[in-house]
């Protein structure tokens, strides 16, 4: 395999034991303790933390971004509903963080029991047939849990990883994300790595909703607004003959379970134009978000690039 397409290096380095990494190890220790705490009281504790964070000044910027996104996508939505969605977002974030060590700390059986899958018939038969699939997965806090669950059944998978400024944190994240199988490529490897893997029969995760600026994007509708959208998914599917399957990851506090919603594979995709591909993809993203509007990461700068060039954040 070309060095360019080698998966992320998961080998342990002795430098991870240096004192500068001790705070990270302490954080891991705390999360491991939470991984063995009963779910219901842990979720209540996470909700308590979220309520304390909600009105802090450090949240003001993120809340502003979320309100702008929500008001542009749903002009009819009032402030009360916006605040409810932002609060659920924050609660879900806290509950997910306190659950984060479960895949590493707990058994496969335990982790599978924490997941409910809706629409598995839209994906698992394709994987059993060896058909490479591109999972179209918008940003939610539960995306790692959904991916780990699907990979645990043995289908070959790959995804991309963007490193942080902490080498140990990156190693821990990539190690967990590949615990049940699959491989991770650094984002610098580019789409070529995904093309390489898909042509070799692997499936992949594709997160479609970040704003990459006007030069690389086309504008396509997203709910009541226009969004700068990368016209990449159609090209990826065309080059690899992969099936695009939309998927949404969420957390259900009432059930104390992670939920994965899998929609039917996209039909007549890709189309004859990148612009139409972007429209079709955003339609699927809309349908996925409607599985749980309050689960979506509205705090991302999703609408940074505007058709008129004005800044809204």
Per-residue pLDDT of 38-56, as tens digits, reads: 999 999 999 999 999 998 9
Output the pLDDT for position 6: 73
Instruction: Enter the tokens of residue 124.
Output: 């698992």
pLDDT digits (tens, 9 = 90+) for 193-207: 899 999 999 999 999
Q: Is a pLDDT exceeding 70 seen at residue 4?
A: no
Length of the chain, please? Answer: 313
pTM of structure: 0.93
Q: Is a pLDDT exceeding 80 seen at residue 284?
A: yes
Task: Of 128, 63, 62, 47, give the one whose Cα is nearest residue 95.
Answer: 47
- The rounded distance, in Å, linking the Cα atoms of 12 and 291 is 39
Output the pLDDT for position 197: 92
pLDDT bracket for residue 119 (50, 70, 90):
very high
Region 265-279 average pLDDT: 95
Output the pLDDT for position 1: 47
Q: Is a pLDDT exceeding 90 seen at residue 183?
A: no
């Amino acid at each position: 395999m070309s060095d360019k397409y080698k998966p992320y290096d998961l080998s342990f380095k002795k430098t991870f034991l240096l004192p500068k990494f001790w705070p990270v190890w302490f954080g891991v220790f705390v999360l491991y303790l939470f991984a063995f705490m009963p779910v219901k009281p842990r979720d209540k504790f996470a909700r308590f933390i979220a309520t304390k964070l909600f009105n802090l000044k450090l949240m003001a910027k993120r809340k502003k971004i979320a309100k702008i996104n929500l008001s542009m996508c749903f002009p009819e939505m009032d402030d009360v509903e916006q605040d409810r969605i932002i609060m659920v977002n924050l609660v879900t974030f806290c509950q997910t963080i306190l659950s984060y060590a479960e895949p590493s700390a707990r058994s496969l059986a335990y982790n599978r029991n924490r997941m409910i899958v809706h629409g598995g018939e839209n994906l698992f038969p394709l994987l059993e047939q060896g058909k490479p699939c591109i999972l179209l997965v918008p940003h939610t806090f539960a995306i790692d849990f959904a991916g780990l669950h699907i990979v645990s059944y043995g289908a070959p998978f790959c995804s991309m990883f963007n490193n942080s400024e902490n080498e140990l944190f990156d190693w821990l994240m990539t190690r967990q994300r590949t615990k049940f199988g699959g491989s991770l490529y650094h984002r610098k490897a580019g789409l070529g790595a995904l093309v390489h893997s898909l042509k070799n029969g692997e499936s992949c995760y594709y997160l479609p909703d970040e704003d990459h600026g006007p030069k690389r994007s086309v504008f396509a509708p997203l709910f009541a607004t226009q969004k700068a959208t990368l016209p990449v998914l159609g090209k990826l599917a065309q080059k690899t003959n992969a099936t695009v399957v939309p998927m949404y990851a969420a957390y259900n506090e009432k059930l104390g379970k992670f939920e994965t919603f899998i929609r039917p594979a996209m039909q007549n995709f890709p189309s004859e134009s990148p612009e139409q591909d972007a429209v079709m993809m955003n339609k699927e993203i809309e349908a996925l978000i409607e599985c749980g509007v309050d689960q979506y990461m509205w705090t991302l700068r999703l609408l940074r690039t505007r058709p008129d060039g004005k800044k809204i954040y």
